[in-house]
Structure 1
Amino acid sequence: MIAFPAFRTLLIAAMASALCYGAAHAAEDFDLSPEQPGRLHAARNDAAIAAIPKDFKFVTPGKFTIAVSPGGPPLATYATDAKTVVGADPDYAYAIADSLGLTLEIVPVAWIDWPLGLASGKYDAVISNVGVTEQRKEKFDFSTYRQGLHGFFVKSDSPVTSIKEPKNAAGLRIIVGAGTNQERILVKWSEEDVAAGLKPIELQYYDDEAASLLALRSGRADVIVQPHAQLVFIATRDKNIKRVGTLSAGWPDRSDVAITTRKGSGLADALTVATNGLIKDGTYAKILDHWHLSEEALPASETNPPGLPKY
């Protein structure tokens, strides 16, 4: 479904009137200041440092230089000064740098640019919600640090209370992005429902996030499915939608997000050791909880696990 001009006019007016209100509420739950006084620091991890190959050369000696794409809170965004990058991914990067006894250097990049920049040696790693795929593994190494999740969110007063499997979504009007992984999965869910004698899922498509949210709030749709972290922030900001389930990006298998490094550089194993150290001492869980992302926690980090297949 595509939003019509009149609907878009209504949308613009509604969003404009709510802008200041939403921003104020978001500030109550997410600190987007450049100072980040609540940022956690990690202890030096000698085992992780020892795992760094002796011949590995950091882009800048004494620094861990990472690329981040500031796509939006809570993962990574520009702070209120419009220049400092803050969020869950930067905080995690700081903790990894602490573990390695290094100073963090963040390089903001456009998402489309990170593969070339990493391959050409502009930075040591990418920490920017990069999912592990078999195709990417041909060129890069990975150290996992979060689950790749999509979220099922509904209006706060919705009668829908839980979506865990295809039958829970039968007959619902669900907003997805065209050409996305969640669309691919929900098409399969709908096929399973029909085969089981249940109603198909009605997928709806809108041309921007604001239109999607207004459709959900106005009752034109029952559910919205997007990357989980994005909807966590929106739910906290707007106070009128809630989570009723999550969906692995690799359904029916788990799909992980990982630190990305150059293929064969040898740094991935050290980063995996560092992450497991953060998991063990509780720093990892505290970072995720600080950004309302505890549902995305991994039990342990792995180097180059199975990734999403080529489609």
Structure 2
Amino acid sequence: MAFFDRAKLLLAGAVAIATLGTASVQAQEKFDLSPDTSNRVRTERNEAAIKAIAPDFKFVNPGKFTVAVNPWDPPIATYASDSKTVVGADPDLASLIADSLGLELDLVAVAWADWPLGVASGKYDAVISNVTVTEERKEKFDFSTYRRDVLGFFVKSDSPITSIKEPKDVAGLKVITGAGTNQEKIILEWDRQNVAVGLKPIEVQYYDDRAAGDLALQSGRADVEFNPNATRAYAASIRNDTKVVGIASGGWPLTAEIAVTTRKGGGLADAITLAINDLIKNGKYGEVLKRWSLTDEAVDASQTNPPGLPKSGS
């Protein structure tokens, strides 16, 4: 590698590190990532929801709502500044549901791979951790929906691109996305449709490093990023260097929804659905989404076990 190329690479890395450091400070200032959760949005007991709990349902710990959560990324769920307390939109919703059911919240941080067995075996009352409803999962679990599974198109804040709504809008663009993801499947299908009608193909770009992807977008090496709306909207609200120009369902062309997940036939799902619908009605649900920049993902009503994304090959 030539000296000039090495210098450019080092400079790019320094810029990326500085950007991440600034973003971390801005995140602390804009979002409450402190371990003090006393200011979480709270609500009153919901007697109708409590009565809807099956008479034979037994909570893991009497008087507590034991909820598994995977602290994977803000704003959904992440560790607070003490690196121990889990904060974010999903923990806040878990707290509201616990209030509604007249219970104390016991939030348990788990690895993503561990929640299915934990819920099925009765180790946790529920998992609230960005779980999408699928037909395959419905064979083992019950669901109470609370957020749309949304992907977002993000561009540099001063980009001339103002709207992306359909395949033709991305023709000829350089698009960052995640390898092996739903969003990759969608963008490749959009590209296939475009090429079939004579439009310019897209150039797909993949970055394992978050900072490298951000740098590509800001430098103009990429035109747009297509990835989960929640995390990218959070970043955009902190740094103000990107903007959302379109959204698509994570199950495009089908609608995909995120849900509270409980044991199949356990007798808790209907109660949670009632609780969420009351939270939507009284505005507490909206307060949580607004607090974490997730208003675009709001549902009008919670449903118990709605149609999920189909099984592979169906």
Using the size of structure 1 for normalisation, the TM-score is 0.95
Match of 2:189, as an amino acid?
K
**Greater shift in the superposed pair: 125-134 or 183-192:** 183-192
CA distance, structure 2, for counterparts of residue 28 and residue 164 of structure 1:
33
| Aligned residue number for residue 173 of structure 1 | 174
CA distance, structure 2, for counterparts of residue 290 and residue 32 of structure 1:
12
Secondary structure of 1:284's aligned partner: helix
User: Is it true that 1:21 corresponds to 2:38 in the alignment?
Assistant: no
| Aligned residue number for residue 262 of structure 1 | 263
Match of 1:133, as an amino acid?
T
Using the TM superposition, give the Cα deviation of residue 310 of structure 1 relative to its aligned residue in structure 2, in angstroms: 1.8
Secondary structure of 2:185's aligned partner: helix
**Greater shift in the superposed pair: 123-132 or 230-239:** 230-239
**1:297-308 → structure 2 map (5 Å cutoff):** 297-308=298-309
In structure 2, relative to structure 1, the CA distance for the partners of 1:10 and 1:112 (3 Å cut) is farther
Match of 1:227, as an amino acid?
P
| Aligned residue number for residue 213 of structure 2 | 212
**Structure 2 gap ranges (5+):** none
Q: Give the aligned CA root-mean-square deviation in angstroms.
A: 1.6
CA distance, structure 1, for counterparts of residue 39 and residue 117 of structure 2:
33
CA distance, structure 2, for counterparts of residue 98 and residue 85 of structure 1:
18
**Greater shift in the superposed pair: 159-168 or 22-31:** 22-31
CA distance, structure 2, for counterparts of residue 38 and residue 222 of structure 1:
39
| Aligned residue number for residue 242 of structure 2 | 241
**Greater shift in the superposed pair: 45-54 or 192-201:** 192-201
**Greater shift in the superposed pair: 26-35 or 69-78:** 26-35
| Aligned residue number for residue 144 of structure 1 | 145
Using the size of structure 2 for normalisation, the TM-score is 0.94
Q: Deviations over 1:47-81 (max 9, x none)?
A: 11010000000000000000000012111111111
**Greater shift in the superposed pair: 183-192 or 87-96:** 183-192
CA distance, structure 1, for counterparts of residue 38 and residue 207 of structure 2:
38
CA contact (8 A) 1:125 1:261 kept: yes
Q: Deviations over 1:215-268 (max 9, x none)?
A: 111111101111111101211222211111111001112110000011111111
CA contact (8 A) 1:25 1:236 kept: no
What is the aligned length?
308
**1:1-311 → structure 2 map (5 Å cutoff):** 9-311=10-312
CA distance, structure 1, for counterparts of residue 108 and residue 15 of structure 2:
36
CA contact (8 A) 2:17 2:211 kept: no
CA contact (8 A) 1:133 1:308 kept: yes
CA contact (8 A) 1:11 1:210 kept: no
**Greater shift in the superposed pair: 30-39 or 242-251:** 30-39
Q: Deviations over 1:189-215 (max 9, x none)?
A: 112212232212221112222221111
Q: Deviations over 1:253-295 (max 9, x none)?
A: 2110000011111111111111111011111111101111100
Using the TM superposition, give the Cα deviation of residue 25 of structure 1 relative to its aligned residue in structure 2, in angstroms: 1.7
Match of 2:158, as an amino acid?
D
Match of 1:194, as an amino acid?
V
Secondary structure of 1:64's aligned partner: strand
Using the TM superposition, give the Cα deviation of residue 301 of structure 1 relative to its aligned residue in structure 2, in angstroms: 0.4
Using the TM superposition, give the Cα deviation of residue 9 of structure 1 relative to its aligned residue in structure 2, in angstroms: 4.3
CA distance, structure 2, for counterparts of residue 309 and residue 85 of structure 1:
32
CA contact (8 A) 1:97 1:104 kept: yes
CA distance, structure 2, for counterparts of residue 5 and residue 294 of structure 1:
43
Q: Deviations over 1:79-107 (max 9, x none)?
A: 11111111000000000000000000000
CA distance, structure 1, for counterparts of residue 193 and residue 11 of structure 2:
37
In structure 2, relative to structure 1, the CA distance for the partners of 1:166 and 1:7 (3 Å cut) is farther
Identity %: 61
In structure 2, relative to structure 1, the CA distance for the partners of 1:8 and 1:113 (3 Å cut) is farther
